[in-house]
C-alpha cells in the first residue's frame, strides 16, 4: 500500500526526558489515555467532547430562535511519541495532532530543532516566509511572506538587530517534501506514516546535526544555542537569583506571534475568573505569588501563563520560563535567554556591539540631577527645561498617522536644535522605547511635511523655525538620549546597546548626530 503524504509537526525532545510518560502532562489532565503501538511508540490522547460555543450564550443570550443543537465544537488533542535509537543513544520525538502540543510538558523540546533542520535543507533563493524578532529588551516579533521566492535579505532583514525564529522555503531533498518550515518544530508534508516513521525521524535528526546552513546562513551563529547541561544549570541558577533580586536584566514577553484580534488577555492561571491582563510583565507575575515566596526554578517551569481567546477558552499556554528573556554575564561571556533556550553571544558580535556603543559620546549640555523635588519624570522634565531656558514637550502628544497614533516629538527642545529624549532606567524595556521614540521623531521631522505643520502648531514663539515647511537640514539638529540612573557608571544592558546602535546608525545615515547622556538620580 503506497504511503500517503501527511502534514506533520515534529519536535525533538531534550535528552533529560528519558521516558514517554516523563514528556506528558499526566498530572495536569486526569483524562489522558495512552496506547502502546508495538515497538514504534506511544499514542496519548484526550477523548473529544462536543459542546456549544460560548458566543451562543455570551452574545446571543441563548436566544430561543437559534437552535443551539446545530452548533457544536470540539477540540482534538493527541500526541504520538517515538523513541529512536541513533548512534547508541535513545532520542525521543513528539508528533502532535490537533491541540496535542499542549499535552507536552513545558520546555521539554529543543527550541531550534525545526529551524536548524530547515536551514540545513533550504534550497538557495527559495525562502517564502519568515518570523523574525529584534534583539531588544522590548522585542518586536513580525511575520512576513513574499509572493515570489527569494533570499532572507529580500525581507528587509537587519542582520545586526534581528534573529530568525521561523523560516519557510523549498527543501533540496524531496524525501522531506517540497515546502518545509522550521521553528521549534520541523513542519513538513512528506510520505510518512506509521510504517516508516522511525527511519524518517532518524533522517531528521541527522539532518539537524549537519552544518550545511553555514554556506548561506553563517550569520545565524552570532548567538549560538547552549546544549551543555551543566552550563544551563548554572545560568538558570543565576537567572533565579536575578529575578528574586528584582534586577532589570530579566523581563517577560509573549514567546510567539499571536493574533491580537482573537485574544482577550493573559493571566498567570488556568482559571479565567482570576482576571485578565492586556500585557505581560515580570512584576505582574511576581505580584500573582505569595509576597513572602522566594521564586524557584521549578516555579518558572510549572507556573503557567494562559492566553485566552474571545470565546474565553485558552488559545495558548506557556510556562513562565518560556516567556522569560534575560541577559546573563558569566566568566567574561555574555549569555541570553530567548524562548526557553540559552544562547552564547558570539564574542566577535559582542565586541563589535560594544565598540560601536563606546563611540556614542555625551553632549555637552548642563542637564541637572534628578532630585528629591522631582516627584516624577514629568516634573523633572519641566524643571530641566526651565534650567536650560528651553521648551518642555513632555506629554505634548501629536495625533498623526493611522489608528490615531500619538507621537511625542521629544521631552525637551532647545532653540539651538537639541532634541532631548529622557527616560528613567527602571526596566530595560523602557530604554528600547526611548531609542525608538527618537528614531520615529527624527524620521517624521525630516520626511513628513504634514507632521511638521502639526509640530509647528504646538511650538512656542521662537521655536517654530525648528519645524519649517520645507524639508529641514538634519545637520542642524542633535538627538540626545538622556538616561536617569542612580548609578551613572552602571552598564547599559547588551540588547539595549544593540537597539541604540541600530537607531543611531539609521539616524546618522539621515544626517543627524546622536548623543547619549546620563543623568544622576540622587533620590
What are the structural domain ranges in the chain? 5-215, 229-345, 353-520
Asked if residue 141 has pLDDT above 90, the reply is: no
Asked if residue 291 has pLDDT above 90, the reply is: no
Question: CA 149, CA 449: separation in Å to the nearest integer?
Answer: 36
Q: 466-516, pLDDT tens digit by residue?
A: 999 999 999 999 999 999 887 666 677 788 888 899 999 999 999 999 999
pTM exceeds 0.75 for this model: no
Report helix, strand or coil for 141: strand
Question: CA 349, CA 335: separation in Å to the nearest integer?
Answer: 12
Return all residues near 486 (Cβ < 8 A) that are at least 6 apart: 520, 521, 523
Backbone φ and ψ of 126, nearest 5°: -120, 20
**SS3 per residue for 65-112:** CCCHHHCCECCCEEEEEEEEEECCEEEEEEEEEECHHHHECCCCECCC
Q: What is the mean pLDDT of the chain?
A: 89
In whole angstroms, what separates CA 230 from the centre of its chain? Answer: 26
pLDDT range class, residue 348, cuts 50, 70, 90: confident
The top-scoring range by mean pLDDT among 73-77, 210-214, 250-254 is 210-214
Give, as one character, the DSSP assignment of residue 521.
B
Q: CA Rg, the chain, in Å?
A: 26
Instruction: Using the Cα atoms of residue 99, residue 103, residue 106 and residue 110 in order, give the sign of their dihedral.
Output: negative
> Mean pLDDT throughout 54-80?
88
- Cell 492586556 belongs to which residue? 278
pLDDT at 229: 78
Question: CA 311, CA 307: separation in Å to the nearest integer?
Answer: 11
pLDDT at 62: 87
In 10 A of CB 229, how many CB atoms?
A: 11
pLDDT at 219: 84
Asked if residue 316 has pLDDT above 80, the reply is: yes
Q: 49-58, pLDDT tens digit by residue?
A: 888 888 888 8
Burial bucket for residue 160 (CB in 10 Å: 0-12, 13-18, 19+): middle
Asked if residue 430 has pLDDT above 90, the reply is: no
Asked if residue 414 has pLDDT above 60, the reply is: yes
Asked if residue 102 has pLDDT above 70, the reply is: yes
Question: CA 109, CA 93: separation in Å to the nearest integer?
Answer: 9
> Mean pLDDT throughout 141-156?
84
Give, as one character, the DSSP assignment of residue 366.
-
Least confident of 129-133, 275-279, 305-309, 381-385: 275-279
Asked if residue 169 has pLDDT above 80, the reply is: yes
Question: CA 237, CA 218: separation in Å to the nearest integer?
Answer: 31
pLDDT at 514: 97
> Mean pLDDT throughout 182-211?
96
Q: 224-269, pLDDT tens digit by residue?
A: 778 777 898 999 999 999 999 877 778 888 887 777 667 888 888 7
Question: CA 86, CA 92: separation in Å to the nearest integer?
Answer: 10
Amino acid at each position: 500500500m503506497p504511503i500517503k503524504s501527511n502534514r506533520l509537526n515534529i519536535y525533538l525532545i531534550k535528552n533529560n526526558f528519558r521516558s514517554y510518560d516523563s514528556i506528558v502532562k499526566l498530572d495536569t489532565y486526569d483524562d489522558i489515555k495512552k496506547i502502546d503501538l508495538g515497538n514504534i511508540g506511544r499514542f496519548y490522547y484526550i477523548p473529544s467532547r462536543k459542546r456549544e460555543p460560548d458566543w451562543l450564550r455570551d452574545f446571543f443570550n441563548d436566544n430561543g430562535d437559534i437552535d443551539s443543537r446545530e452548533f457544536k465544537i470540539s477540540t482534538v488533542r493527541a500526541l504520538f511519541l517515538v523513541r529512536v535509537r541513533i548512534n547508541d543513544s535513545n532520542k525521543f520525538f513528539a508528533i502532535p495532532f490537533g491541540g496535542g502540543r499542549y499535552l507536552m510538558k513545558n520546555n521539554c523540546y529543543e527550541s531550534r530543532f525545526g529551524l536548524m533542520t530547515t536551514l540545513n535543507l533550504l534550497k538557495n533563493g527559495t525562502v517564502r516566509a519568515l518570523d523574525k524578532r529584534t534583539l531588544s529588551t522590548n522585542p518586536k516579533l513580525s511575520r512576513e511572506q513574499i509572493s515570489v521566492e527569494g533570499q532572507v535579505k529580500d525581507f528587509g532583514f537587519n542582520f545586526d538587530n534581528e534573529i530568525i525564529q521561523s523560516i519557510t522555503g523549498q527543501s533540496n531533498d524531496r524525501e522531506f517534501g517540497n515546502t518545509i518550515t522550521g521553528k521549534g518544530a520541523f513542519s513538513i508534508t512528506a510520505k510518512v506514516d506509521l510504517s516508516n516513521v522511525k527511519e524518517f525521524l532518524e533522517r531528521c535528526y541527522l539532518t539537524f546535526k549537519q552544518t550545511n546552513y553555514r554556506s548561506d546562513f553563517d550569520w545565524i551563529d552570532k548567538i549560538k544555542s547552549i546544549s551543555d547541561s551543566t552550563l544551563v544549570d548554572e545560568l538558570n541558577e543565576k537567572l533565579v537569583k536575578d529575578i528574586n533580586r528584582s534586577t532589570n536584566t530579566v523581563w517577560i514577553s509573549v514567546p510567539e506571534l499571536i493574533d491580537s484580534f482573537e485574544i482577550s488577555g493573559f493571566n498567570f492561571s488556568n482559571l479565567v475568573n482570576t482576571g485578565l491582563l492586556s500585557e505581560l510583565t515580570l512584576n505582574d507575575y511576581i505580584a500573582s505569588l505569595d509576597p513572602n515566596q522566594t521564586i524557584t526554578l521549578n516555579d518558572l517551569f510549572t507556573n503557567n501563563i494562559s492566553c485566552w481567546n474571545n470565546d474565553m477558552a485558552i488559545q495558548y499556554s506557556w510556562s513562565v520560563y518560556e516567556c522569560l528573556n534575560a541577559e546573563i554575564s558569566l566568566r567574561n561571556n555574555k549569555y541570553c535567554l530567548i524562548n526557553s533556550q540559552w544562547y552564547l553571544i558570539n564574542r566577535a558580535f559582542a565586541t563589535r556591539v560594544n565598540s560601536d556603543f563606546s563611540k556614542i559620546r555625551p553632549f555637552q549640555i548642563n542637564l541637572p540631577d534628578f532630585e528629591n523635588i522631582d516627584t516624577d519624570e514629568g516634573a523633572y522634565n519641566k524643571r530641566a527645561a526651565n534650567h536650560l531656558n528651553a521648551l518642555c514637550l513632555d506629554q505634548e502628544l501629536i495625533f498623526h498617522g493611522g489608528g490615531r497614533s500619538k507621537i511625542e516629538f521629544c521631552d525637551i527642545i532647545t532653540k539651538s536644535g537639541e532634541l532631548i529624549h529622557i527616560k528613567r532606567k527602571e526596566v530595560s524595556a523602557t530604554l528600547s522605547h526611548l531609542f525608538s521614540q527618537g528614531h520615529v521623531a527624527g524620521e517624521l521631522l525630516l520626511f513628513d511635511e504634514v507632521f511638521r505643520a502639526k509640530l509647528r502648531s504646538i511650538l512656542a514663539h521662537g521655536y517654530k523655525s525648528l519645524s519649517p515647511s520645507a524639508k529641514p537640514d538634519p545637520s542642524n539638529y542633535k538627538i540626545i538620549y538622556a538616561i536617569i540612573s542612580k548609578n551613572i557608571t552602571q552598564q547599559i544592558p547588551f540588547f539595549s546597546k544593540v537597539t541604540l546602535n541600530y537607531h543611531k546608525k539609521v539616524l546618522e545615515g539621515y544626517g543627524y548626530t546622536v548623543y547619549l547622556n546620563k543623568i544622576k538620580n540622587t533620590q
